[in-house]
Structure 1
Amino acid sequence: MAEAPADLDPVSMFSLLGDETRLAVLQALYDETRGRGTGRGAVAYSTLREAVGEPDSGRFNYHLTQLTGHFVEKLRGGYALRAPGREVVRVLRAGTLTQSPRVDPVGTGRVCPRCGGQVRLSYANEHVFVHCADCVGLLEFDYVPDGTLLAVSFPPAGANARDPSTLLAPATLGYERRLQTMTDGLCPDCGGVATPSVRRCECHRQTGSTTCDRCHTGFEALVELSCETCERRRVAPPAFAFTHRDPVREALSAANADGDAWRRYVTVVDWPTRVRRADGGTPEVVYAPPDDREVVVAADGSVRREAPSPPDELGAHLSE
């Protein structure tokens, strides 16, 4: 087995990529080996140079040598991409660092879970924004459109590849899957350890037509999923982060809402919700779906179903 290359500091890493010939080498290797399983097949020097289209052999050899070690591996039969090289190509093709498409609001054919109004979708800053045309929505921040119900990251290439009116389903599904991976303890971005916590607005106040003037959302509590390595953070209505767990899945099925991810989202958002103090003082979020068994999401990420609380316990909120 070849000796692993030394780690690169970030400045050196970006320096190595700062030439169009080097990026062309990575993309050519990716294309030439894409059909060979894991991409471990070697590409002959002459084949690679022809694919890149560099007529100057000295220049080509210099740039290939600079990449070899961290991004490219020299094998007996030629050259192959290492994992960092493949990741660079994927990032480039996803458009995350290079593309900035915008989509003006389009109709989705869905209705708002708050007011029954028409739901629209727009795209900007690598995010899909789902918003209502008739109410304030669930999120009121400077960086989201008025009436926003959901804002999720989505790669530019994915947005460019689809009719804007069809973006709702893949964007919501991608958001749901990333949440599920993190609730299971794995960061989908770096492979680090992800941990859950319940974040509660201590002075939550809202009416049916406004969001809270303190947290600027329509949620008294949100689950926060944080990676200990890359510090990726995602927040969501607690039950929506656990739609793959049996207690939530059972309640969604009983509500005939186990179809697409958007339907699951609006269903859990519409369930009556309260926050109470569990044994030990940690917060837990209690949902009351229509099948008369509550769904409880605890601060440690555990989820369970239980019989409805007696009336005298319904006021046992954290604010007391």
Structure 2
Amino acid sequence: MSEASTSPERDRRGRREADAEELLACDDCMSPADAFSVVASETRLSILEALWRSEETPVRFSDLRREVGMRDSAQFNYHLGKLTDQFVVRTDEGYDLRHAGKAVVRAVLAGTFNESPDVEPFGVGDPCVACGAELRASYADETFAVACPDCGKPHGKYAFPPGGLNDRDETELLRAFDQRVRHLHCLAADGVCPECNGRMTTKIVEADDPDEAPLGLSVHVEHVCAQCRHRLRSSVGLSLLDQSDVVSFYRERGVDLSATPYWTLPWCVSDEYVEVLDRDPWALRVAIPEGDETLTVTLGPDLGIREAERGA
């Protein structure tokens, strides 16, 4: 094959990169370095936080200055002017946050830039799906993990902003982590990056060596953002938690799947229940047992359910 020839996958990748560059190419856009320098001021952060806290927006200049607690009107106007257009929008009625301004405040509240806490490992109260020992949860380096201390089987390890630890006991923290994991994979499966809202692609990956497979899974799902390159890996089962066939199957048996921690569902943390039917294109069969009945679903390469059957 000549150097000028390209594969379809390479063509698609090239188009995605070109699209991303086009989106980022903007004559009126502020460079990332300039954007960070603008908000690198305690006064400007105070202005953004004051707008965030305001129950009614837009906020008039005098009311906003009073809320920030700055007496010098000219100095306050200088800092507000630096934020206007990129982080704050000015209207006839006053000032309000733009999306970028809200993102900055959310990042501060989440502790993304200024917090780095650790949490001592604690018992989850649920058994490992592999050996039955009690699972333990841990938090370090802005990552929350649930794993078995006895056999070492991982039951999930994902980024969790430090702000999520605030005002939550262990039970509430586990619930928040469970919901966050579901949310991350729901967005990713729908093609939306949970980090930047860019286009996310989904593919099924089969490891050559099961012993060295990511997440300890020989077959797993990988979501990758074409814009920010954020990568999210998971078991095949996690993509099925909000599928109507699966939700109905559990509901008919008196189980609220949305309130059931995903790590207690063996088909969500193991590939033992996954069977590869075809690889070109991908076709998978997943067995979902509950009580004395099993729901068997067949998935296509997009992880959509093609068939669903129930049996003993």
Instruction: State whether TM-score is above 0.5.
Output: yes
Higher helix share: 2
Distance apart, 1:114 and its partner CA:
0.9
Matched residue, 2:300: 298
State the Cα deviation string for residues 132-184 of structure 1 (Å, max 9, x = none).
2221113xxxxxxxxxx211222211112211343222101111122112212
Q: Which amino acid aligns with 1:195?
A: T
Matched residue, 1:141: none
Report the Cα distance in structure 2 between the residues aligned to 1:6 and 1:21, rounded to whole angstroms: 25
Report the Cα distance in structure 2 between the residues aligned to 1:163 and 1:29, rounded to whole angstroms: 30
| Mapped pair 1:12 → 2:34 | yes
Spell out the pairing of 1:161-240 with structure 2 (5 A cutoff).
161-204=167-210, 212=211, 214-215=212-213, 217-240=215-238
Asked whether the equivalents of residues 271 and 289 of structure 1 are also in contact (C-alpha less than 8 Å), the reply is: no
SS at match of 2:131: coil
Distance apart, 1:216 and its partner CA:
5.3
Matched residue, 2:71: 55
SS at match of 2:285: strand
Report the Cα distance in structure 1 between the residues aligned to 2:263 and 2:145, rounded to whole angstroms: 17
Matched residue, 2:273: 273
Matched residue, 1:70: 86
Asked whether the equivalents of residues 257 and 264 of structure 1 are also in contact (C-alpha less than 8 Å), the reply is: no
Distance 1:87 1:287, change over 3 A: same
Asked whether the equivalents of residues 251 and 289 of structure 1 are also in contact (C-alpha less than 8 Å), the reply is: no
- Could you state the TM-score of these two structures normalised by the residue count of structure 2? 0.80
Report the Cα distance in structure 1 between the residues aligned to 2:227 and 2:72, rounded to whole angstroms: 42
Aligned length: 280
Report the Cα distance in structure 2 between the residues aligned to 1:81 and 1:236, rounded to whole angstroms: 35
Consecutive unaligned residues of structure 2, counting only runs of 5 or more, are 1-26
SS at match of 1:173: helix
State the Cα deviation string for residues 259-302 of structure 1 (Å, max 9, x = none).
52424653313573344252x72333322233345223332222
Distance apart, 1:106 and its partner CA:
1.0
Report the Cα distance in structure 1 between the residues aligned to 2:209 and 2:249, rounded to whole angstroms: 29
| Mapped pair 1:97 → 2:113 | yes
| Mapped pair 1:83 → 2:83 | no
Distance 1:281 1:77, change over 3 A: closer
Q: Which amino acid aligns with 1:115?
A: C
Asked whether the equivalents of residues 178 and 262 of structure 2 are also in contact (C-alpha less than 8 Å), the reply is: no
Asked whether the equivalents of residues 217 and 271 of structure 2 are also in contact (C-alpha less than 8 Å), the reply is: no
Distance apart, 1:232 and its partner CA:
2.1
Distance apart, 1:254 and its partner CA:
6.7
Report the Cα distance in structure 1 between the residues aligned to 2:258 and 2:36, rounded to whole angstroms: 43
Identity of aligned residues (%): 30
Report the Cα distance in structure 1 between the residues aligned to 2:124 and 2:264, rounded to whole angstroms: 15
Distance apart, 1:191 and its partner CA:
2.6
Distance apart, 1:129 and its partner CA:
1.2
Further displaced range: 261-270 or 293-302: 261-270
Matched residue, 1:258: 257
| Mapped pair 1:284 → 2:283 | yes
Distance apart, 1:236 and its partner CA:
0.9
State the Cα deviation string for residues 108-138 of structure 1 (Å, max 9, x = none).
2111111110111111111111122221113
Asked whether the equivalents of residues 88 and 96 of structure 2 are also in contact (C-alpha less than 8 Å), the reply is: yes
Distance apart, 1:307 and its partner CA:
5.8
Distance 1:65 1:259, change over 3 A: closer
Report the Cα distance in structure 1 between the residues aligned to 2:125 and 2:159, rounded to whole angstroms: 21
Bigger RCO of structures 1 and 2 (CA < 8 A, at least 6 apart): 1
